[in-house]
Chain A
Amino acid sequence: MKRTPLIIIGAAVLLAFVPKLGLPAFYDSLLYMMLHWVVLATSWNILSGYTGYFSFGHGAFFGAGLYTTSTLLARYEWPFLWTLPVAALVAATLGVALGAVVFRVKGVRGELFALLTLAITFVIGTIVVNTPIDGGNGVPLSGVPVPKIGPTQSSTFYLLALAAATVTMLVAWAIFVSKFGAGLFAIHDDEDAAEVMGVPTYRYKLMALAISCALAGAAGGIHALFLSYVTAGEVFTITVPLTVVLMSVLGGTRHWAGPAVGAVAITGLLYSFTAADHAIAGKAMIGVVLIAAILFMPDGILLRLQRVFRRTPPAAPGAAHPPSTLAERSTPTASTASTTGHGEVLLHVRGLQKSFKGVRALAGVDVDVRRGEILGLLGPNGSGKSTFINVVSGHYLPTGGEIVFEGRHLAGLPAHRIAAAGIARTYQIPRPFGHMSVLDNVALATMFGGAIHDVATARKQAMTWLDFTGLHEKANAHPDDLNLHQRKFLELARALASRPRLVLLDEVLCGLTPSEIDDAVALIRRIRDQGSTIVFVEHVMRAVMALTDRIVVFNHGELLAAGSASDVMQRPEVMTAYLGRPHLEPAHA
């Protein structure tokens, strides 16, 4: 893994000798353009490829850098190299300001983000043209001295772009293999689930946007001097973002090096046609290449090549674990009743309310969960059980009431903070991250719930959870290849991997066959035995009777009854809630 940065730096050092070859200036500018697009496409990919938030505003961020440098050069006569950090900073500030507003709005996902960033491009472009920044005539920079880095002026630009590209590639790689990167890819697949696993989605998106903008801004700064005459018409358009999208998708957005491959390919293609004076044919040719690439390599060149030359997949340290100690240590037959009632109160919920536009899903419920118990949460459909889990896990904001977990107030905190506090949940319909392997799905939860920072350790620990749930043979499979039973167990493994003190299980048994239910019941016992407290929403009465220490019953968003399962289910009000009011004979009490 650590070989990659050395390869990047090594390649950069080799490429730095190209000006010594004394090639005609044409090659310098061709190589400059290639590297320029490598920076733009790769920086775009850090936000848009990794998280799936396609930005059409890269022109604006690039342009912000371009105009920052040109203004500082033309108006204030700064030395050129000093303008570059400022250009990066201005672009990043612009991006963060935009992101801070846009990412706060819950409805802004995918296509809306694309539109907003496009709109920003035109707004900023209009401002630049109509104010003295540009003034409508462009900014001439021909009088500005070019720093002497390479033997000629064109080679200087080439070396500057090379440095920028090297930094960009290193950053893209470092994020790709880090915990940060794993979080970004989780946002791509299922943002809500990522948040519940403990990924600080808002902050991560903002950070990725800032990095992406800063790199684009620096590229803009270099390009300003390269152009030596800056005009807004070429910058604040849809052409820049479309080109980088094109390059990234062609190369592959799910790989750090994909955009660079695409950038080199497309720039090379463009140049080979313009150089031979066939600009029109070139345009058509790029169209054909693009169509062919999308039809036959929808995941990008790089992933396609990887699939062709697949060696051993980069996976599963210690994949051949024997069924681990955790699983053996478990005591599936231990009687559950013995521990009842001894634990202190772990989760303390008072007057919890949740309304959806006037529909009261929770009308003020009081629930205590004691450490070490399995609490069954029952009730007819629509009684508020799932809402309870959604509110406690932070997926919904409560309308009122308080949630106290180990003495900390959780009501109103974002979901990732609640996850970090030690509460995990599963979804009734499993929501795995579709593009990640089963192992990485679990490793993600390990990292974000368990404060583990490097991916390798996380994978190793994730493997023990796969052993625990019996999924170790599927570690490298993708969630799509699992059956429902295995997907439910994957949900469990993910929930456990964050080492929660409280696990909220939302109908894990629903849809399983009787023998699969037996497996799951044994597994849930083992989960409790290794130290987690469990809230268990379920309709399968057999499992409820076998597993729970206590149950609470909800009806119409209110607490109807609480106590031991065999006792509560006999109560008349509970039977009425489930079966309706008897007409002929009274319920036996």
Chain B
Amino acid sequence: MSGFTLPSISLLSQSILSGVFVGALYGLMGLGLSLSWGLLKLINLAHFAFAFLAAYLCYQMASKGVDPLLTLLVIVPAFFAVGAGLHWVMARFKVTPFNSLLLTFGLTGIVEAVIQTIWTADFRKLESSYGEQKFKVVGLFVPVPELITLLLAVGISLAVWAVLRYTDLGRAMRAAAEDAPIASAFGVNQKRNALLLAGTCASLASIAGVCLALSFTLAPSQMYAWIGVVFAAVMLGGLGRALGPLIAGTVIGVSEAITMAVTAPSWAPIVSFTLLIFILVLRPGRAT
């Protein structure tokens, strides 16, 4: 066990900042997962596979000289179709929540195999014009790709929150999540909305994937490394809440970063997960 070293203020604030950036990506990854779990009652493990597939597609197009952010124009609608298609199958067979977990786990395995066949198991890193750019604000380095991730995560989370809260479509979706048959009786086109929502979730996964490609090296097996921590962010943030994953993700990211700065990187998981356990066990019980 390495001893505790008290880092300097600048090092500490730099790691908090990097924690915020990682947390934003946790939040962005978790957003679609949370919506699909909370509002569609489907636990979509393939969310991570979608994100990685999108990351590899982005990588592929970028290596042909396309700007990574422009690839979103192709990737987002494509994944919308994939997500809606997947949901159509699940709805058709009336898959239960836990079975959806397993079905999408199977799908994840297939996607992993596909990625491994096309791009091999080696690490890949996207090269782009701004990939290595960073600038300095009040003594802190801000890398451009991470900043893009943060802005996208905050912007999208707020947008989803506003849609769910203030539009008829959002209200209809929340009503259908409460009680689908009753919502249908009040004229909510539940089937169409669910397809729309599932497509949106997959699109969100693909955006998270592009952000992932911007700042991380990719390997197919890496998709499993994200599952634990993103799930934690989703459940901590509250299922079906738009802002929850972002906030919870940031809390986890920052606490990880501080732990890494104060002790050794290998201790990082313990703080976030202990924090999570305490919050879950000690918070006042919700409806029982």
Contacts and interface: CB of A to CB of B under 8 A. Distances in A.
B288 interface: yes
A294 B269 contact: no
A123 B102 contact: no
A101 interface: yes
Given A111-B235, A115-B235, A122 B228 contact: yes
A436 interface: no
Interface stretch (B108-116, B125-133, B184-192): B108-116
Contacts of A116: 277, 280-281
A284 interface: yes
A120 B277 contact: yes
Given A106-B288, A246-B105, A284-B110, A123 B277 contact: yes
A119 interface: yes
A286 B267 contact: no
Contacts of A22: none
Contact of B102 (A108, A120, A249, A283): A249
Interface stretch (B3-11, B62-70, B91-99, B149-157): B91-99
A298 B101 CA distance: 12
A288 B114 CA distance: 13
Interface in B113-127: 113-114, 116-117
A129 interface: yes
Given A280-B117, A298-B95, A291 B232 contact: no
A322 interface: no
A146 interface: no
Contacts, number: 124
A11 B58 CA distance: 54
Contacts of B101: 245
B106 interface: yes
A284 B231 CA distance: 24
A100 B110 CA distance: 39
Nearest to A292: B106
A243 to B, nearest CB: 10
Interface residues of A, number: 45
A101 B228 CA distance: 21
Given A115-B235, A123-B270, A294 B102 contact: yes
Contact of B276 (A119, A250, A294): A119
B224 A237 contact: yes
A246 B107 CA distance: 13
A56 B98 CA distance: 12
A291 B49 CA distance: 15
Contacts of A250: 102
A60 to B, nearest CB: 11
Nearest to B287: A107
Interface string B264-288: 1011111001101100110101111
A136 B96 CA distance: 40
Nearest to A242: B105
A288 B109 CA distance: 9
A123 B95 contact: no
Interface in A191-233: none
Contact of A295 (B93, B267, B270, B277): B93
A44 to B, nearest CB: 13
B65 to A, nearest CB: 29
A108 B283 CA distance: 11
A130 B267 contact: yes
| Residue from the set A112, A125, A284 with the largest chain B CB neighbour count within 10 Å | A284
A105 B285 contact: yes
A127 B116 CA distance: 32
Contact of A107 (B108, B116, B267, B286): B286
Contacts of A280: 113, 116-117
Contacts of B270: 122-123, 126-127
Interface string B26-60: 00000000000000000000000000000000000
A129 B2 CA distance: 12
A121 B270 CA distance: 10
A536 interface: no
B227 interface: yes
Nearest to A239: B224
A287 B267 contact: no
Contacts of A112: 235, 280
B285 A106 contact: yes
A115 B105 CA distance: 17
A581 B257 CA distance: 67
Contact of A119 (B89, B117, B224, B277): B277
A483 B175 CA distance: 27
B269 A288 contact: no
B106 A101 contact: no
Contacts of A286: 106, 109
A5 B45 CA distance: 38
B196 interface: no
A118 interface: yes
| Residue from the set A125, A126, A136 with the largest chain B CB neighbour count within 10 Å | A126
B277 A108 contact: no
Contacts of A290: 102-103, 105-106, 109
Nearest to A296: B93
Interface in B237-278: 239, 264, 266-270, 273-274, 276-277
Interface string A116-151: 101111110111011100001000000000000000
Nearest to B121: A280
A32 interface: no
A293 B2 CA distance: 48
Contacts of B231: 115, 118
Nearest to B284: A107
B1 interface: yes
Nearest to A120: B277
A355 B277 CA distance: 29
Contacts of A126: 266-270, 273
Contacts of B108: 287
Nearest to A121: B228
Contacts of B117: 280
B272 to A, nearest CB: 8
A298 B96 contact: yes
Given A242-B105, A290-B106, A291-B107, A249 B276 contact: no
Given A290-B106, A294-B102, 7 more contacts: A123-B270, A130-B264, A130-B266, A238-B224, A246-B102, A295-B95, A298-B95
23 contacts: A105-B280, A106-B285, A111-B239, A120-B273, A120-B277, A122-B269, A123-B269, A123-B273, A126-B268, A126-B270, A126-B273, A246-B102, A249-B98, A281-B113, A283-B116, A287-B105, A291-B106, A294-B99, A294-B103, A294-B106, A295-B93, A298-B95, A298-B96
Pairs of residues from A and B, 10 with the lowest C-beta to C-beta distance, nearest first = A290-B106, A287-B109, A284-B113, A107-B285, A287-B110, A287-B106, A119-B273, A126-B270, A294-B103, A291-B106
